[in-house]
Amino acid sequence: MIQTVASVSLPVDETLAIKKSRFCPPDGGNGKRICIVTGIHGDELEGQYVCWETARRIREHPELLHGTVDIYPAMNPLGIDSITRGIPGFDLDMNRTFPGSADGSMTEYLAQKIVEDLLGADLCLDIHASNIYLTELPQIRINELHRDRLVPLAKRANVDFIWVHGANTVLESTLAYSLNSRGVPTLVVEMGVGMRLTVEYGQQLTDGIFTLMHDMGIWSGEVPAPRDPIISEAPEDVAYLNSPCSGIFLKKREHCAFVHAGEEIGSILNPFLGEETASILAPETGLLFTIREYPVVDEGSLLARIIKMEVPEA
């Protein structure tokens, strides 16, 4: 059943509507509710596949559903329609407007209605992709203020990496912060790359969602055992690689590769002179969980991130 969460009138007789798809058994089930949220940034489309695959599996076996699943594929429909990260016409990042206000601007009103609709859920997954510049390994990012409650849930979500951030790095205007501070456990997922679908990542996360649903008693079907994720809880666990100069970045290792300290992961090229301006070396041994996808770089551009760890034997 498709329901309208919020709508506002636009110029030229148009309406902006944020909608959700609700799945629940005829008798209402056990009262448990999980929410799948994506599309807050219009250029992040990885969650679209997760929404589709989640709905497809439920429709294939409705008899296995014993609670409520709410799917929100497009929190920022104008951004998705125009391939724009923020809300077009407002030059605004929607994920900096929560919890919103019923008496505020159009964007604040929509944010308030979204939070209002999500309140009362037993679990929410806020699915993001990376931007067009970087590719990310499937990961969940958690505010350390909520680590005790969220890390056990994140371990069941079938991601490769759990990144616990310091409280001072968390923006209070995000959807996840607003929900977690109001008692709705919310996991922020980052994976893949902007403006693309990575089907294997979508399948991986959907498996994790059904594992969580099974844990909650919402789903009684068979689910795979989740992956055992790497967990980072200290800032020094993650090494950042930034470009030493402008040019074209040619990557030589893919994300999710294990690298050794001193190993070359890419180079900066000067297409005018036909020269290699810089060789980019891994500063630490570990897992390359972020890599630059868009090749044009300026001095200081983020090229990669490595989670420090021992490299397992082949």
136 within 8 A of 48, measured Cβ to Cβ: no
Residue 192 has what pLDDT? 97
Residues 187-234 pLDDT 10s = 999 999 999 999 999 999 999 999 999 999 999 999 999 999 999 998
Residues 69-118 pLDDT 10s = 999 999 999 999 998 999 987 888 999 999 999 998 999 999 999 999 99
- Which tokens hold the place of 170? 């968390």
d(CA 165, CA 107): 27
Bigger pLDDT: 28 vs 276 = 276
Q: Is the pLDDT of residue 170 over 80?
A: no
Mean per-residue pLDDT, 166-176:
79
Q: What percent of the chain has pLDDT over 90?
A: 90
Residue 169 has what pLDDT? 57
Instruction: Determine whether 172 is exposed, middle or buried from the number of CB atoms within 10 Å of its CB (0-12, 13-18, 19+).
Output: exposed
Q: Is the pLDDT of residue 291 over 70?
A: yes
Side-chain-facing half-sphere of 140: CA atoms under 13 Å = 34
d(CA 158, CA 101): 35
Residue 13 has what pLDDT? 83
Backbone torsions φ then ψ of 25, nearest 5 degrees = -70, 160
Residue 168 has what pLDDT? 60
Q: Is the pLDDT of residue 314 over 80?
A: no
Q: Is the pLDDT of residue 313 over 80?
A: no
Element (H, E) at 108: helix 106-118
Residues 116-143 pLDDT 10s = 999 999 999 999 999 999 999 999 999 9
Q: Going by C-beta distance under 8 Å and a sequence separation of 6 or more, which residues neighbour residue 13?
A: none
C-alpha distance from residue 16 to each of 21, 72, 94 (Å):
17, 15, 14
Supply the angle between the helices 46-60 and 199-215 in degrees, to the nearest 10.
50
What's the first-to-final CA gap in the chain, in angstroms? 48
Residues 253-281 pLDDT 10s = 999 999 999 999 999 999 999 999 999 99
β-strands 123-129, 33-38: how paired?
parallel
d(CA 68, CA 89): 35
**pTM, entire model:** 0.96
d(CA 217, CA 3): 24
Residue 172 has what pLDDT? 85
Residue 171 has what pLDDT? 77
283 within 8 A of 305, measured Cβ to Cβ: no
- In DSSP notation, 268-312 reads EEETTTTEEEEEEE-SSSEEEEEEE-S-EE-TT-EEEEEEE-PPP
Residue whose structure tokens are 């074209």: 248
d(CA 206, CA 52): 10
Instruction: Determine whether 244 is exposed, middle or buried from the number of CB atoms within 10 Å of its CB (0-12, 13-18, 19+).
Output: middle
Q: How much of the chain is in helix, strand and coil states, percent to nearest 5?
A: 25, 35, 40
Mean per-residue pLDDT, 237-266:
96
